[in-house]
Amino acid sequence: MDGEQTVLVTGGSGFLGGWCLVELLQRGYRARTTVRDLAREAEVRANVGSQVEVGDRLTVLAADLNADRGWAEAADGCDYVLHVASPFPPAQPKDPDALIVPARDGTLRVLRASLGAGVRRVVVTSSVAAVRNAGPDANSRGRELTEADWTDPDNPQLTPYTRSKTIAERAAWDHMRAQGAEDRLVTVQPGAIIGPVLGDDRSYSLQAVERMLTGRMPGLPRLGFSFIDVRDVASLEVGAMTAADAAGQRLIAAASFLWLSDVAAILRERLGPDARKVPRRRVPDVLVRLLALFDPEVRSVVGELGQETTYSVENARRRVGWVPRPIEETIVDCARSLLGQRMPTAAASAS
């Protein structure tokens, strides 16, 4: 690999964005990243520097998904782009456009700047949310979902977040196809991302583990997710930049499906006394639905109660040679990382 190759990562202050920077620097690339506010530059450097020597190989620039300014400069001279930044609030907004517009328009801004700069490939971070909700008539029960499955963004039952990820990914493919550049795009659909934290930012998935450890989750609702290690997602994204067979592909990044009760059992078994606050009792669905009437955070997940969805990662294995680590290892590493530092209560989204 040419050590002079430069990769832009959007949203370097976020959980996944930070680990993408770590992965790139570990592989010898020069990295460039965007944040909304340059006041966070020192934080980004410290977070990434906790895992890898940064030196002069990391540049931090200001750019906002809601504005054109800064994107052409950020992409100029880059060989590849990893578009990671996207809003992910703890509670769904009343106006869906609060998520849909920055997700869609921000993605298009990044793609236009990338094509204008002549980058070789753009990897866009989507979500399994853009795969799993195919609509009431979809024949998806009882089988693993694949990259051929698409969420229907017109489904009225979907959350604004799910619609935003689907609409943004669709817009990316439509744009690149219209430019005759479909083979310069890869999209990655991660499951619920957890793993060791680099800083204070908390994704929704991280909060679930954190709340178990701190006793702020008094019981276990009948919710489950296909968790995935943040380091494995970063590895897939970096690998997908250059893998010849990944061109023009969607790549699901998800490990085994686990109920929250499964996660709690792993924490108790592997952490011993450190898991003393992890709940044991189950929360009935009816109680969760009642809480959803008053708590917008609960309301955003109530539609997932009792839903078990599994995914095939064969496409990522075959085209990139990607194999995720055991999810039990990820859960333990995540918990130990959270226990090792102050745990802020406020969630933060990727910048």
**What is the domain range of residue 205?**
6-216+226-259+309-329
User: Can you tell me which residue has the tokens 């620039």?
Assistant: 61
Q: d(Cα 102, Cα 108) in Å, to the nearest integer?
A: 10
Q: Which of the residues 32, 165, 170, 184 is marked catalytic?
A: 165
304 pLDDT above the threshold of 90: no
Q: Flag whether 288 is in a domain.
A: no
Please give the single-letter amino acid code of residue 19. Answer: W
Q: What percentage of the chain has pLDDT greater than the value 70?
A: 89
Strands (E), 230-320: 250-253, 257-259, 282-283
Give pLDDT, residue 141: 60
CATH of the domain at 149: 3.40.50.720
Q: Flag whether 29 is in a domain.
A: yes
Query: 94 an active-site residue?
Result: no
For 83-92, what is each residue's pLDDT tens digit? Answer: 998 766 656 6
Residue 35: strand, helix, or coil = strand
User: Can you tell me which residue has the tokens 């910048």?
Assistant: 351
**Residue-averaged pLDDT of the chain:** 89
Strands 257-259, 224-229: pairing is antiparallel
300 pLDDT above the threshold of 90: no
Q: d(Cα 280, Cα 286) in Å, to the nearest integer?
A: 18
Q: Flag whether 286 is in a domain.
A: no
Q: Flag whether 341 is in a domain.
A: no
CB-based burial label for 274 (10 Å; 0-12, 13-18, 19+): middle
Q: Tell me 27's DSSP state.
A: T
For 246-282, what is each residue's pLDDT tens digit? Answer: 999 999 999 889 999 999 999 999 999 999 999 999 9
Q: Flag whether 64 is in a domain.
A: yes
For 5-29, what is each residue's pLDDT tens digit? Answer: 999 999 999 999 999 999 999 999 9
Q: Flag whether 38 is in a domain.
A: yes
Q: Flag whether 345 is in a domain.
A: no
**What is the average pLDDT across 140-163?**
86
Number of domains in the chain: 1
Q: Flag whether 272 is in a domain.
A: no
Radius of gyration of the chain (CA): 19
Name the pLDDT band for 297 (thresholds 50, 70, 90): low
140 pLDDT above the threshold of 60: no
